[in-house]
Amino acid sequence: MYTAVAAGGFRRYATYRAATAAGVFTNTVFGIILVYTYLALWDEKPHLGGYDQAQAVTYVWLGQCLYATLAIQGGGVEKDLMERIRTGEIAIDLYRPADLQLWWLATDLGRSLFQMLGRGVIPFAFGAVFFSMYLPTDVVTWMTFAVALLLAMLVSFGIRYLAALSVFWLMDGMGVSQAMMVLGIFCSGMTLPLNVFPGAFGEVVRALPWAAQLQVPADVLMGESTPLRAFAFQAAWAVALLAAGRLLQTAATRRVVVQGG
């Protein structure tokens, strides 16, 4: 059943062809702007964060590839879930013979897969053609990167699911969505690789769950982190976030008040 739900999520987002094309164009343009910004920064600070210029360029295009895939700024299925909680339609979801968390997780995995194939691959390929990038040549590294990406999807969903459930108490998701956007962009490393931040601040941001979305998969792809260490970090956060989501869901659905009723 959940495979069918994931397939439905994939098909749903595949219908927005104009939005997908616009997203590909936007990510490509922003990628070009960021690449030249990074190149100027790395000219001044060679090997900043332990990366050379080719690795820094790879990091930029990977970020553009995963931006929509992991809904780093928000905009995934949590938007629909927030709206259904706000309007009271969530009561219908609770009557389904399916687990609420697994239902939305399957839907989000289908969305993530489409966004990666439909919106992420083209900007990354563009970067590989027109810029000097660090790309591994062995299959094993790409396979470990795929595992890291799957774990990143779970962590991403775990963060956004917790944010969506907060609407049970807040009755509106606008403020939570804006906070998620700021935290997602900065703490995932979309602005700058988290490796460049020094001292205690750098250690803190690299220990937060957002680091599992972009920084950790990037380090796995570029050989800057051992796969087992990366997987352990991501899996620990995925389990913790999904477990917290389960507990919060139980507390929220113990007594559901349908809006207007």
The answer to pTM > 0.85 is yes
b/e map of 191-226 (b: 16 or more CB within 10 Å)?
Answer: ebbbbbbeeeeeeebbeebbbbbbbbbbbbbbebbe
Query: Could you give the CA distance from residue 125 to residue 241 in angstroms, rounded to a whole number?
Result: 32
Question: pLDDT tens track of the chain, all 261 residues?
Answer: 889 999 999 999 899 899 999 999 999 999 999 999 999 999 999 999 999 999 999 999 999 999 999 999 888 899 999 999 988 888 888 888 889 999 999 999 999 999 999 999 999 999 999 999 999 999 999 999 999 999 999 999 999 999 999 999 988 888 999 999 999 999 999 999 999 999 999 999 999 999 999 999 999 999 999 999 999 999 999 999 999 999 999 998 876 655 544
Q: Residues 57, 35: contact at Cβ < 8 Å?
A: yes
Considering just the CA atoms, what is the radius of gyration of the chain in Å?
19
